[in-house]
Chains A and B, each alone.
Chain A
Amino acid sequence: DAMVIQNPRYQVTQFGKPVTLSCSQTLNHNVMYWYQQKSSQAPKLLFHYYDKDFNNEADTPDNFQSRRPNTSFCFLDIRSPGLGDAAMYLCATSRGLGVSRQYFGPGTRLLVL
């Protein structure tokens, strides 16, 4: 029944060691989003894909990259994680842009040592 799936649920990495987080969806939605949520803060959008079109938020650091090889999967790559990148990373999907409802995955909690 899971509609937006994220793996792993918890990820521990070392300072500067590249890490990849995974998201998949069974909803066949056109749009996939990646959000960063730090403790006691609101989710902050990093970027989104509308089909294969990539849209980066202006203030998203270059350290964060994303790939969407097909409709179902989207990856978040952190090239050189810093201590400040420790957070919950949430994937979300929607059918379209604008007024379309966004559905969130369970998140991956990233710890940087």
Chain B
Amino acid sequence: GENVEQHPSTLSVQEGDSAVIKCTYSDSASNYFPWYKQELGKRPQLIIDIRSNVGEKKDQRIAVTLNKTAKHFSLHITETQPEDSAVYFCAASPDGGSQGNLIFGKGTKLSVKP
């Protein structure tokens, strides 16, 4: 089955710096890769997603890149702010999405220091 690995598990940056979180997946049929932000005690919120026919997607300070050959995808946050502090989860939709499930990475706790 699909396996998603996420690194690093914790990341601390200074306000204004960039943050990069990386994920790898094992199922070459996976075709959908969302990123969720979860603040303490709150719901996971979708912040950006990318489909396998696209290599890069950007939304203001957030961007995601996908390398299908290498089977990895990354989240880039530029000009980080304290309110970016949260746990970020990557996920992959295996089997071409036919099963409907998402396989999540273990999460990255991002701390942005003022």
In whole angstroms, what is the CA distance A103 to B107 when docked?
18
In whole angstroms, what is the CA distance A28 to B13 when docked?
40
Residue among B99, B101, B105 making CB contact with A42, cutoff 8 Å: B105
Would you call A45 an interface residue if the criterion is a C-beta within 8 Å of the partner chain's C-beta atoms?
A: yes
In whole angstroms, what is the CA distance A55 to B100 when docked?
9
In the bound complex, do residue A98 and residue B100 qualify as a contact, i.e. CB atoms below 8 Å apart?
A: yes
In the bound complex, do residue A101 and residue B98 qualify as a contact, i.e. CB atoms below 8 Å apart?
A: no
B-side residues, CB < 8 A to A, are 31-32, 34, 36, 42-46, 49, 51, 89, 93, 96-102, 104-107
Main secondary structure of the interface of A (DSSP, over half): loop
In whole angstroms, what is the CA distance A105 to B104 when docked?
17
Task: Report the number of A-B residue pairs with Cβ-Cβ less than 8 Å.
Answer: 57
Q: Which of chain B's residues has its CB closest to A4's CB?
A: B43
In whole angstroms, what is the CA distance A101 to B97 when docked?
11
A-side residues, CB < 8 A to B, are 31, 33, 40-45, 48, 50, 55, 57, 90, 94, 97-99, 101-107
Collect the chain B residues with CB atoms within 8 Å of residue A41's CB. 106-107
Q: Given A42-B106, A45-B102, A50-B100, decide whether A99 and B31 contact each other with a Cβ distance below 8 A.
A: yes
